[in-house]
């Protein structure tokens, strides 16, 4: 049972993610974002249900907004953008444009944790499209063989870009496929914070107790397309309306905690207000940021060993 503080934190974090993403959308449409963006709206319950169990997660929204707008004050000095954003201080090893590349990276982190006996747990987020990559199969096998504290989270939103998972995932069932590698694998409703939080609690406890890796498949729905501007001709209007109006994880969370009387509407409304202010300030800061100087073009790009 989650206490009030935990429920408030879950709501606040989901709301901040949504507001951040929607501001990024507006900035992209206005032409302020160099490069491309892919929005997370609709999948917040997964990130929050998972990351509330981790000590180090959570990047600074202002630093991220500066980064996405390509400014020198950004999290990666304006050189990473949305697709290569990273925050190693916080244990965030990086977004990656190479689909399916996070599981092998996470195996390295999990091996480090096991070797150093640091009690840390490594989590890889992959999409349903990414779940078909050979990289994740190798990573899952290695995690089982070495009994690593690694958790594979598959965010199954039904599409890899515009290709239906129904068509492209040969086994039809990513969790059953993962179980074949020899690890506990569960399927949860990723539009609902609570089952994600519970599945992750089990997985983290097992990882810390030396019980090896776990797999969580969270079914969810994208509120936007694969990328900003995706016309989504591969989805019916009805499916999109359902995702936006019926299955929104933040609306569902709100309804539930209000019905149970655990939180009040005014508490949630004030979180909404603070989050909007925080994201407005992040956008203002990002507009005021400076472009990286020309001399920076060749730094932080290659490492020589
Ligand atoms: C190794 C590799 N192959 C192909 C691509 C092109 N690509 C970009 S996103 C994507 C689909 C990813 O699907 P999913 O993981 O379900 O993400 P979603 O579309 O739901 O955001 C593909 C094939 C890529 N970026 N990297
Ligand atoms: Mg997908």
Regarding the beta carbon of 40 and ligand 1, being less than 6 Å apart is answered no
289 Cα: distance to centroid of ligand 2 (angstroms): 33
Per-residue pLDDT reduced to its tens digit, 246-277? 999 999 999 999 999 999 999 999 999 999 99
Q: Identify the nearest ligand to the CA of 130 by its number.
A: 1
The answer on pLDDT for 1 being more than 90 is no
Tell the residue nearest (CA) to atom 11 of ligand 1: 160
For the beta sheet containing 185-189, the strands, ordered from the edge strand earlier in sequence to the opposite edge, are: 122-127, 150-156, 214-219, 185-189
The pTM score is 0.96
Please state the rounded mean pLDDT for residues 197-215. 97
pLDDT at 305: 64
Average pLDDT over the chain reads 95
pLDDT at 299: 85
The SS3 of residue 233 is coil
| Ligand 1 center from residue 17 Cα (angstroms) | 21
Q: What is the pLDDT of residue 197?
A: 98
pLDDT mean over 151-167: 96
CA angle 228, 230, 236 (to 5 degrees): 130
Q: What's the pLDDT score for residue 304?
A: 65
Q: Is the pLDDT of residue 10 over 90?
A: yes
Pick from 239, 248, 230: which is nearest to 41 by CA?
248
For a substitution probing ligand 1, which of 39, 130, 160, 232 has the most ligand atoms within 8 Å of its CB? 160
Q: State yes or no: pLDDT of 241 exceeds 70.
A: yes
pLDDT score recorded for residue 279: 98
Q: Which atom of ligand 1 is nearest to the CA of 99?
A: 26
Q: Which residue has the higher pLDDT, 56 or 7?
A: 7
pLDDT at residue 57 above 80? no
Q: What pLDDT is attached to residue 56?
A: 73
Over residues 81-108, the pLDDT tens digits come to 999 999 999 999 999 999 999 999 999 9
Band (301; pLDDT cuts 50, 70, 90) = confident
15 lines ligand 1 (CB under 6 A): no
CA dist 38 and 156 (Å) reads 15
Confidence of residue 298 (pLDDT cuts 50, 70, 90): confident
The tokens describing 236, both together, are 């019916």
pLDDT tops 90 at residue 14: yes
- Pocket lining: 164 vs ligand 1, CB cutoff 6 Å: no
């Amino acid at each position: 049972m989650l206490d009030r503080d935990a429920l408030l934190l879950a709501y606040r974090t989901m709301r901040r993610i949504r507001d951040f993403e929607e501001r990024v959308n507006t900035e992209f449409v206005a032409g302020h974002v160099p490069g491309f963006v892919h929005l997370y709206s609709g999948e917040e319950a997964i990130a929050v249900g998972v990351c509330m169990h981790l000590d180090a997660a959570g990047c600074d929204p202002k630093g991220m907004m500066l980064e996405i707008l390509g400014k020198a004050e950004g999290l990666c000095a304006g050189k990473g953008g949305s697709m290569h954003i990273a925050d190693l201080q916080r244990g965030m090893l990086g977004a990656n444009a190479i689909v399916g590349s996070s599981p092998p990276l996470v195996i390295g982190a999990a091996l480090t944790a096991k070797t150093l006996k640091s009690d840390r747990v490594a989590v890889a987020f992959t999409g349903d499209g990414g779940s078909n990559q050979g990289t994740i199969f190798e990573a899952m096998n290695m995690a089982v063989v070495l009994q690593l504290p690694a958790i594979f989270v598959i965010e199954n939103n039904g599409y890899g870009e515009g290709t239906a998972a129904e068509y492209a995932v040969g086994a039809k069932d990513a969790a059953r496929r993962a179980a074949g590698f020899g690890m506990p694998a569960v399927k949860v409703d990723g539009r609902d914070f609570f089952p994600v939080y519970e599945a992750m609690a089990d997985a983290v406890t097992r990882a810390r107790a030396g019980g090896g890796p776990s797999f969580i498949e969270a079914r969810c729905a994208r509120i936007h397309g694969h990328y900003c501007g995706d016309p989504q001709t591969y989805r019916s209007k009805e499916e999109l309306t359902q995702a936006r109006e019926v299955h929104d994880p933040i609306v569902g969370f709100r309804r539930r905690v209000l019905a149970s009387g655990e939180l009040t509407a005014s508490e949630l409304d004030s979180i909404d207000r603070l989050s909007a202010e925080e994201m407005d300030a992040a956008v203002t800061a990002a507009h005021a940021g400076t472009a990286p100087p020309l001399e920076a073009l060749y730094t932080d790009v290659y490492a020589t060993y």
